[in-house]
Amino acid sequence: MKKVLILLLTMVMAIGLAACGTSEKASKAGEGKKVLVMGTSADYAPFEYIETEKSDEIIGFDVDLAKAIAGKLGYKVEVKDMEFNGLVQALKSGQADFVLAGMTPTEKRKKNVDFSDIYYTAGFMIVSKKDSGINKLEDLKGKTVGVQLGSIQEGQAKEIGKTIDIKIEDRNRIPDLIQEIKSGRFDSAIIEDTVAKGYLTNEKDLAGFTFEAKGVEGSAIAFPKNSDLTEKFNQELKKMKENGELDKLVVKWFGGEQK
């Protein structure tokens, strides 16, 4: 009789623990929805950034886009801040389910990860101090040019370096590039124009000009190789382009419609 009672008690406890575990998982996943981890580098306003004076939440165009697409597919999104040059590896190692970080689908990256269709196309800007005398690419001759490590701008700097003698330096974060310019360690930096304009608004001692980039396709969402999410995200992205949802996000974060 004691054995039967012990067995019954054990079964009741097991059911209770299982129910508790299920409840906790459902709560964490948002009422039973699955959670996708989005890898990003939150130093790239207005794509992804943190308004530290308000909260520690990562916000921006890419975050809104990720939540919109994932929500349509029945997922919640957990945003993780990482170094930009480590995002591809994060996909390969399973630390992230997808990456949204203003990333350009270069041939080198395509060897390691899959990409969605292009969701945004921007230009590039040379940023320097207002009194630097740098007003065109030729003015960079003999200058130190900063770029974000692992970024498409790093590739653009190397392209410029083929015809103009420049010294290229890299840093992990965009704010680091701005600080290096202000301190005089860098003469200039190459930054995506949409992002650069935000800094120029706040940093009155800086100026910039855009230039024609070579071989730039725009920004896309990155996924692990052969992920079934790639096609699913592509389908929803196409719908957002067709029904105007994507344009609304562009207007919200950039103040103008995408070309």
| Cβ–Cβ < 8 Å for 175, 183 | no
Question: Does the pLDDT at position 31 exceed 50?
Answer: no
Gap between the Cα atoms of 172 and 251, Å rounded: 29
Residue-wise pLDDT tens digits, 98-110: 999 999 999 999 9
Mean pLDDT of the chain: 86
Closest to 116 in 3D by CA, of 220, 217, 40: 220
Q: How far is CA 203 from CA 114, 199, 230, in A?
A: 37, 6, 39
CA angle at 119 for the pair 117 and 124, rounded to the nearest 5°: 115
Average pLDDT estimate for 85-96: 96
Q: State the first-to-last Cα distance of the chain, in angstroms, to the nearest integer.
A: 78
Which pLDDT score is estimated for 33? 54
Which pLDDT score is estimated for 39? 98
Q: Are strands 34-40 and 58-59 parallel, antiparallel or unpaired?
A: unpaired
Residue-wise pLDDT tens digits, 207-227: 999 998 876 778 999 999 999
Gap between the Cα atoms of 186 and 164, Å rounded: 16
Residues 6 or more apart whose CB falls under 8 angstroms from that of 115 comprise 105, 109, 220, 221, 222, 223, 230
Q: Residue 255: which pLDDT band, with cuts at 50, 70 and 90? A: low
Cβ burial, residue 221 (10 Å; 0-12/13-18/19+): buried
